[in-house]
Amino acid sequence: MAIDSALIERIVANVLEQLQPAAAVRPLIEPVAPAPVISKPTAPVSPAELGISDRVVTAAVLEKLALPNGVTLLVSPKAVITPSAHDVLKQRKIRWTRTKSATATTMALSTPVRWQILVSAVTPTVRTLLDHVSRSLSGWRRQLVGTSNEVIEIAGRAVSTADVDRVLILAQAAELVACETNRNAKVRAAVISSAEQLRSVETQMSPNVWVLNPQLRSYMELRQIVQACAALGPSNISKSH
């Protein structure tokens, strides 16, 4: 049977005619420009503050401290700052100010202070830890203290006046410091050596003063202890007095 070419052309033309309207009615979707994003200014962050109780602040004293960029150094009202110390502060662009009292360590911050960390044993590992506390934890007050007697006095006053919830002490004579601090009726001090021990002691007696010897402790061990401290709520010792 011969194929009529004219018939084939009419069939093709009909098919094309039916397809053409469908293509023509396809809606044209114009891209919609995204709404402009208006960035909100973030609240200014208060610079970290570090207090020291040294009566004479020298360049050697400053070199031993963990003073990260942006920190403000707080010194006692009657502390003497030597010319060499002034040079170090200027070179490292560190601001400093005097506190209103010999035991005050920081000025009022927007974040309430829950913990105070007192350091009388400064090692390179402890300096790194203090830098971590300054950068990563809010509500922590740091103070470098010269002697065990000063540590005991400051810790007792801090918890007795409810200035802070708890105190963490880094000292070589940990057992002695804990024993002497416990002479204060409002203090419940305990010696710890690990984060696991801290959690165990917390369930037994909920101390408001923790004492730790940082010697022979790695940075990760000290950091885990600090993080375990930060996870605790206020001590329940006030309920028993």
Task: Tell me the pLDDT tens digit for each residue of 76-127.
Answer: 888 888 888 888 888 888 888 887 665 544 433 334 678 999 999 888 999 9
Residue 51 C-alpha from the chain's centroid:
16
CATH 3.40.50.1100 is right for the domain spanning 110-234: no
**In this structure, which long-range contacts are made by residues 151-157, counting pairs with CB atoms below 8 Å and at least 24 apart in sequence?**
151/118, 151/120, 151/177, 151/181, 152/177, 152/180, 152/181, 153/103, 154/53, 154/103, 154/116, 154/118, 155/116, 155/118, 155/181, 155/187, 155/189, 155/209, 156/181, 156/184, 156/186, 156/187, 157/103
Q: Is the pLDDT of residue 174 over 60?
A: yes
Q: Is the pLDDT of residue 218 over 50?
A: yes
Q: What is the pLDDT confidence band of residue 157, given thresholds at 50, 70 and 90? A: very high
Mean pLDDT score of the chain = 78
Supply angle C-alpha 187, 75, 228, rounded to 5: 40
pLDDT, position 39? 37
pLDDT, position 114? 87
Tokens 């801090």 belong to which residue? 158
pLDDT, position 207? 96
Name the segment(s) of the chain with CATH classification 3.40.1400.10: 110-234
Q: What distance in Å separates the CA atoms of residue 155 and residue 117, rounded to the nearest whole number? A: 9
pLDDT, position 17? 62
Task: Tell me the pLDDT tens digit for each residue of 4-55.
Answer: 666 666 665 665 566 554 444 444 444 444 444 443 333 333 446 677 777 8
Q: Has this prediction a pTM greater than 0.85? A: no
Q: What is the pLDDT confidence band of residue 199, given thresholds at 50, 70 and 90? A: very high
Nearest CA-CA partner of 81 in 94, 68, 66: 94
